Amino acid sequence: MTDTEVQVGDLVEPRPEEALETEQRVDRVTVIRPSPRRPHLDVPELWHYRELLGRFVWRDIKVRYKQTFLGVAWALLVPIFSAVVYVVVFGKFANFPAGNVPYAELVLSGLLVMQYFTSSLTGSGVSLVTNMALVTKVYFPRALLPLASAIVPAVDFALGLCVLLPLMAYYGSWPDGPEVILAPLFLGLAFVTALGAGFLLSAVNVRYRDVPHMLPAFLPILPLLSGVPYAVQEIPEKWQWILAFNPMTAVISGWRWAVLGAGAPDWGQVAVGVAVAIALFVGGLAVFRSSEPRFADTI
């Protein structure tokens, strides 16, 4: 095995040119102290680790469809298949109200956002346990893991748009006007909601492995509670206000309004959804940050 023989001395010879590399060579002082009582999100630190965040996202995207036969086509097939089922079951048989938008378009637009949300939530909810080997062996801000898991499904979402756009062309329904620029904001609301819940669940999952069992029980009914197979504006107002406490209701109706030119959502209801999403994010983050110091001990 002489070809693989290595000289230990090779790697430790100090190389003068590297001593000049200021980026790493400045005296970096690491202070180790008890975790602060009041948890907060250390944004400068997250910024410092941005490259690792990118690396985690890249890793998960890379391995997402490895060793699959259809590969990335799944990102298109899953929403198409689900949309067909929804159209047949809820559109044809149950006659759910669609408002002023073709039913297939209504369902597909809702499903894409919903699938982004469920993937983000599931991924970030189990992210710490999935990456247990990292959590117990090396330091980095733990928030990177749920954060990366909430970003990765955006790729599937973007691919899913490749199904939605031809459908919009087919029905000739284009965004009505300038409100289309608000579309990213509604997607951002889905991201914030998923991440907030993801922070909470991933921290809980470190101690109690109930999360992966709980999610499949809860997630299948979520589309029905978020207006995926119907237009929220078309149902009795009392129910609209109850559904408003689910931020995904605001996300889906707002997204349809911005992109498909569907009826505008009730802004009061949207405000409720946003408030719930922010509360979820702040609460989830607080739980995450306060249990973060013990992750490696309890996981």
Closest to 231 (Cα-Cα) out of 70, 84, 107, 56 = 107
Shortest gap between Cβ of 151 and other proteins (angstroms)? 16
33 binds other proteins (CB under 8 A): yes
34 binds other proteins (CB under 8 A): yes
Q: Segment near other proteins (CB under 8 A), from 9-17, 91-99, 111-119, 238-246?
A: 9-17
Rounded Cα distance between 77 and 81, Å, is: 6
Is there a contact between 149 and 123 (Cβ–Cβ < 8 Å)?
yes
Rounded Cα distance between 137 and 133, Å, is: 6
Q: Segment near other proteins (CB under 8 A), from 28-36, 107-115, 223-231, 258-266?
A: 28-36
Q: Give per-residue burial for 12-29: e unless 16+ CB within 10 Å, then b.
A: eeeeeeeeeeeeeeeeee
Q: Segment near other proteins (CB under 8 A), from 15-23, 172-180, 215-223, 234-242?
A: 15-23
Q: Segment near other proteins (CB under 8 A), from 39-47, 168-176, 204-212, 239-247?
A: 204-212
Single out the residue of 22, 38, 51, 172 in contact with other proteins (rule: CB under 8 A).
51
Shortest gap between Cβ of 235 and other proteins (angstroms)? 34
Q: Segment near other proteins (CB under 8 A), from 24-32, 71-79, 80-88, 177-185?
A: 24-32
Q: Amino acid identity, residue 236? A: P
In this structure, is the dihedral angle defined by the CA atoms of residues 129, 133, 139 and 140, taken in order, positive or negative? negative
Is there a contact between 145 and 56 (Cβ–Cβ < 8 Å)?
yes
Q: Give per-residue burial for 46-83: e unless 16+ CB within 10 Å, then b.
A: beebeeebeebbeebbeebeeeeeeeeebbeebbeebb
Q: Which residues contact 262 (CB under 8 A, 6 or more apart)?
A: 99, 100, 101, 106, 231, 253, 256
Q: State the CB neighbour count (10 A cutoff) for residue 225.
A: 14
Single out the residue of 16, 20, 22, 30 in contact with other proteins (rule: CB under 8 A).
30
Single out the residue of 67, 69, 93, 172 in contact with other proteins (rule: CB under 8 A).
67
Shortest gap between Cβ of 149 and other proteins (angstroms)? 14
20 binds other proteins (CB under 8 A): no
Q: Segment near other proteins (CB under 8 A), from 2-10, 77-85, 154-162, 223-231?
A: 2-10
216 binds other proteins (CB under 8 A): no
Shortest gap between Cβ of 25 and other proteins (angstroms)? 8
Q: Give per-residue burial for 97-135: e unless 16+ CB within 10 Å, then b.
A: ebbebbbbbbbbbbbbbbbbbbbbbbbbbbbbbbbeeeb
DSSP 140: S
22 binds other proteins (CB under 8 A): no
Single out the residue of 68, 95, 100, 136 in contact with other proteins (rule: CB under 8 A).
136
Task: Please report, as residue ranges, which positions from 156 to 195 form the binding site for other proteins (by CB under 8 A).
Answer: none
Rounded Cα distance between 260 and 175, Å, is: 5
Give the total of residues touching other proteins (CB under 8 A): 53
Residues that bind other proteins (CB under 8 A): 3-6, 8-14, 18, 21, 23-25, 27-35, 51-52, 55, 59, 62-63, 66-67, 131, 133-140, 206-210, 293-294, 296-299
